[in-house]
Structure 1
C-alpha cells in the first residue's frame, strides 16, 4: 500500500457479494477510511472483518474535513474514501476531496465497484450506447424545472436517481417535459432481494405507482428524444454527421451503427448514404 495515496473504493449498492476482493484488500491495508456514514460503513467492515479506523466525511462536514484529510495524506497517511453505496463522488460526497488531492499533488487511485447508474442502464432495455447521467434532480423547483427543460430534447438515454417519496412527483414532471408516451424504465432496489424493473411509458409509470406505492431507492432510465418527435433529419444532415465519423477514422459500418442509435433512424439508410459517398469520391 502506497503512503500518502487517496483510494476511491466502490462498495455494494445492496448485495454484499458484489464487494470486490481488491476493495476488501484496500480497506484492510490503508491507515484510515473516510466514510459518508461511519455506522453504515461499520456494518460493512464488520462483515468482511476489516478493523481499519474510520473518520466521517459527509455533506455537512466535507469542507472542513477535506483540509484535514489532505494534511494527513501529505504526511504519508494512506486513506480510502467510501460512500454508503456505490462509487464515491457519484451523487455522493467525494468530488471536492479528489480535486483538493490532485491540486496538492497526491496520487488518487480508483478501486472500481458497483454503480446504480450502470447497473440499471444495462438491464433497462433502453440504449446504453450513449447516455446522460442526471443523478438527483435539484430540490428547488425552479432549478429542477430548468434542468428538465434542458434535457427535454436530449437524444441520449437519460438516467436519474430518485427517493421513493418523490417518485410520483418526478414522474409527473417528466410527463410535463418529456411527454406521457416517452419510454421509461423504473429500476428499484437494485441488487437487493426485491429488485424490480418496471418498463413502459411515463404515463403508464404514473398510473402504476398511483396504485402501488413506490418503495426503495429508484434509478429512472428515460429514453432520449427520438427524431420522430422533432423534425425529420435530411440526407445532407446525415452525411455531415457521417463524414465527421469517417474523418475520425471510424469504419462505415461502425459509423452507421453509432449514428443509427444516436439519430434514431434505420442503419441501412445511413449505410447506403455512406456507399453513395464513397461512389461519389471514386
Structure 2
C-alpha cells in the first residue's frame, strides 16, 4: 500500500474543501485558511463560489471544474499541482466528490502521486440522517435515484430489502414520482424523513410513513432539493429476501432461465420475464443470454 502523510508530504496538494450547504456560519476556520492559501480554487460553479469568497474576503483565483469539462479542467488542476502549488477543490455546497464530479480529479491526482487532503465540512446526507430519528448506523447513501422510471423502480426494489437506513437526494420537480415509486417498493408504512433547506431559514424536517410522504409531496409547494431518509427493512424481511435469492445466486443467466423453466413448468418466454425480475436486469439481456450463448 502507498502511504500519504498529508502534512509532511511536500509538493502540490489537492485539498477537498467542505463548504456551507446553506448557512455560511458552517464553514470552518481551516477551510477559510486553505481557500486563502491555495494557488487556485477549482469550483463547480464559479459564480456561486465567488459569492462565498466575497463574503469571507478571499481573493484566490478561480478555475472552472465541472462534469462537462472533466478532462480539460482536470488537466489544468494537475498542471498547477505539477508546479508544486496547492489546489482547493470545492463543490457548489457541501463536500466535494459526493454527488459531485470531484471524485474524478481526486482519483487522477492520486494516480499521479499527489497528496489528496480532506478538509471536512457540512454535508446534507449526514445532517439529514442524524436529524431523521432513524437508526444512524448502518446506513447506505445512494444519492440521486435514476431519472428513468423503470431504472428507479428497479433500484428501489433492491433497496427495499436492505437492512440499512437508506439516504437519497431528490430534486423538487421529481420528488412526487420518486416518492410514489418508493412507497410501492418499500411499503406504505415504512418510516421516512424528508429533509429540505438544511441549515437555511426555511429548514424543514418531515417524519412519518412513506404514504404520508407521498401525500405531503402531492399537496405541498415543493421548493429546494430534498434528502430522503428511509428506514431499513426488519431482520425477518432481510433474511427472507436472502433466502429467496440464494437458490440462483451461482447460476449464469442462461442456467437461471433453464432452472425456472424446470421449476415452474413455464416456456422460455415466461421464464425470461421471471429471471429478469429476480435478477433486476433488463429482459433483453436475459433473452440474448438464453438464445445466443
TM bin (shorter chain) = 0.7 to 0.9
1:219 aligns with 2:219: no
Instruction: Give the match for residue 129 of structure 1.
Output: 137
Instruction: Give the match for residue 192 of structure 2.
Output: 184
Instruction: Give the match for residue 81 of structure 2.
Output: 73
Structure 1: how far apart are the matches of 2:172 and 2:63?
A: 29
Matched residue pairs, number?
A: 233
1:78, distance to aligned residue in structure 2 (A): 0.8
Structure 2: how far apart are the matches of 1:3 and 1:226?
A: 50
1:67, distance to aligned residue in structure 2 (A): 2.0
Q: Find the residue that maps to 2:63 and give its secondary structure.
A: strand
Which consecutive unaligned segments of at least 5 residues does structure 1 have?
233-282
After TM superposition, list the pairs within 5 Å mapping 1:77-226 onto structure 2. Answer: 77-226=85-234
Instruction: Give the match for residue 19 of structure 2.
Output: 11
Instruction: Give the match for residue 52 of structure 1.
Output: 60
Structure 2: how far apart are the matches of 1:124 and 1:66?
A: 37
Structure 2: how far apart are the matches of 1:161 and 1:13?
A: 14
Q: Find the residue that maps to 1:27 and give its secondary structure.
A: helix
- State the Cα deviation string for residues 190-223 of structure 1 (Å, max 9, x = none): 0000001100001011112212122211100000
Structure 2: how far apart are the matches of 1:176 and 1:191?
A: 31
Which consecutive unaligned segments of at least 5 residues does structure 2 have?
1-6, 241-293
Q: Find the residue that maps to 2:174 and give its secondary structure.
A: helix
Structure 2: how far apart are the matches of 1:140 and 1:225?
A: 24
Instruction: Give the match for residue 32 of structure 2.
Output: 24
CA RMSD, Structure 1 to Structure 2 (Å): 1.7
Structure 2: how far apart are the matches of 1:152 and 1:143?
A: 14
Q: Find the residue that maps to 1:89 and give its secondary structure.
A: coil
> How high is the TM-score relative to the length of structure 2?
0.76
1:145, distance to aligned residue in structure 2 (A): 2.6
Instruction: Give the match for residue 259 of structure 1.
Output: none
- State the Cα deviation string for residues 224-263 of structure 1 (Å, max 9, x = none): 011354668xxxxxxxxxxxxxxxxxxxxxxxxxxxxxxx
Q: Find the residue that maps to 2:58 and give its secondary structure.
A: coil
